[in-house]
Chains A and B, each alone.
Chain A
């Protein structure tokens, strides 16, 4: 292709395009900022992300405002809070992460034992590798994915299953579920609630819930957040959690 014969003509058009972009961005920013102030910002552990939609609906029926969800691994969210990210509520899969927040970012209220959950070995619904029993976890010809250590589901995986030939350490339990639904992994270690919520995956074998399990905690970072914490203690909120398979009390202690 030839170079433009009038190079001087191009910069103005590129520049005006850029200015238009900036103008649009500013306009969009000024329009949406009003709504943001109304919303309650909830940092939510990925395993609770599904239930938060229903919790938000129930919260609104109590006169609460719209929720702005920020989903991620609890440890990633805690790191963001440490760095000053604005949140009204933090729903974490690991209460110990709350102690790690800097003093000026300490929660003003904490609800321990919001709900509990336990791990299961899940496979894609068509189970391509034929996973049948716990012994299959050691198979090296099948691809096994789990959460990375540091993420609550990853720490729980190590505590529950010990040393496994894991092929990929994922940043959140959602990422593990995605590996299974896409058929990239043959088995993955996820929460019981993930299996209940996602029709494209099933539990590899049936076993009674066993611990070490995880206990969710809710922390209010602002006054508005404390109102949401009070709501979480209501029977309505607890009912929503139970409907999604979260146990109100810790699951029976396993032998491990």
Chain B
């Protein structure tokens, strides 16, 4: 798509600037209150390092699961004529619109120790998800998966499958087509979806505290630690927020232009 060389209308510029200010203001607020002088000390605390480690581990594992589960799911939604597709798609998007606390409660009733499936996990495999890091991964995956699926599905639907069909007529096996044509064309969208899903997993709070609980070193992620510190130690809460901000920006800013379509 080509950009118009004309100057955009004044009114649009004004409103867009307001939008930028609205989004930037909270970040500025955070930065100006940050305890810069004692930051070294605050960030070196065991509680902060524990939360950072839990957050990075949980969000990384969740992101990996999201790619493994989400890529075939997106492909099926975009390319295969499955029954009840609308219903399936609504189900996939549901965690995006559901309040995370509701998601966490739903996970408890499904995978909790007395949940629909959870009771059998515990009885047969001695596997308990609540109050474990695996539970935090489940919560993060649940809320992050739709972001990846929606992004990749959108890309699959907007790229025509003409090359795939051509390769098929020329004798390439379906797997070769997938490996040599579909996946390489899909990589940018997969990267964009992964970045969004990872960011969502990193910021996850409600489903985690509801389903996985809050234990330092195991399930207390950066957002939970921030919430915990806010009432008792606001300085530490600010420091934790800065860590979260820095980690998010480090991953999102360099990848933004490469992965998110900039048309």
Contacts and interface: CB of A to CB of B under 8 A. Distances in A.
Contacts, number: 54
B112 A168 contact: no
Contact of B219 (A73, A75, A168): A168
B46 interface: no
Interface residues of B, number: 21
Q: Chain A interface: which size bin?
A: 20 to 34
A76 B108 contact: no
A182 B108 contact: yes
Contacts of B157: 1
A168 B131 contact: yes
A150 B113 contact: no
A79 to B, nearest CB: 5
Contacts of A88: none
Interface stretch (B20-28, B56-64, B189-197, B225-233): B225-233
A78 B231 contact: yes
A148 B131 contact: no
How would you classify the secondary structure of chain A's contact residues: helix, strand, loop or mixed?
loop
Contacts of B219: 168
Given A168-B214, A182-B114, A184-B113, A79 B131 contact: no
Interface string A128-143: 0000000000000001
Contacts of B209: 171
Contacts of B114: 182-184
Contacts of A170: 213-214
Given A182-B112, A184-B113, A168 B213 contact: yes
A145 B213 CA distance: 9
A169 B228 contact: yes
Contact of B214 (A75, A169, A182, A183): A169
A167 B231 contact: no
Interface of A: 1, 73, 75-76, 78-79, 143, 145, 148-150, 166-171, 179, 182-184
28 contacts: A1-B85, A1-B157, A73-B231, A75-B231, A75-B232, A78-B231, A79-B230, A143-B113, A143-B128, A143-B130, A143-B131, A145-B131, A148-B228, A150-B232, A166-B215, A167-B213, A167-B215, A169-B213, A169-B214, A169-B215, A169-B220, A169-B228, A170-B214, A171-B209, A182-B108, A183-B114, A184-B114, A184-B130
- 3 smallest beta-carbon distances between A and B, as pairs: A168-B213, A150-B232, A183-B114
